[in-house]
Copies of this chain bind each other. A is one copy, B any other.
């Protein structure tokens, strides 16, 4: 259900419809908070493309707040989570980065590594 597939043609191609904008804005909004952006970057740059909460929770806010932001990122379709024993691991939804990049630069930014 991740918004990645649905959304969208590049912003420079034609004016976005209300529906497209609604979907895309939800993803941008999720990255529109400094703490969330740091958490997201921490996960995305972590080895293996995934990280335990304990690895990334040092962003200067309380533990409930970290949990809250991770939930938001998950709801936006940017992260997925999985519990393994004591710890919970978050990983980046790969298609999302490509989709958002394509939305901005239009070109073949969809070509992933």
Q: Using CB atoms and an 8 Å cutoff, list the residues of chain A in contact with chain B.
A: 11-18, 21-22, 24-26, 28-38, 40-42, 44-46, 56, 59-60, 92, 97-98, 100-101, 104-105, 107, 109, 111-113
Given A33-B29, A37-B25, A11:B104 Cβ within 8 A: no
Q: Is the CB of B29 within 8 A of A41?
A: no
**With the chains together, A35 CA to B15 CA distance in Å?**
11
For A23, the closest partner residue in chain B by CB is B34
Chain B residues near A29 (CB, 8 Å)? 28-29, 32-33
Q: Is the CB of B25 within 8 A of A40?
A: no
Q: 3 tightest CB-CB pairs across the interface, nearest first?
A: A29-B32, A101-B105, A28-B31
User: Which of B21, B34, B46, B104 is within 8 Å of A34, CB to CB?
Assistant: B21
Q: Is the CB of B109 within 8 A of A12?
A: no
Question: Could you say which of A26, A37, A40, A56 has the most chain B C-beta atoms within 10 Å of its C-beta?
Answer: A37
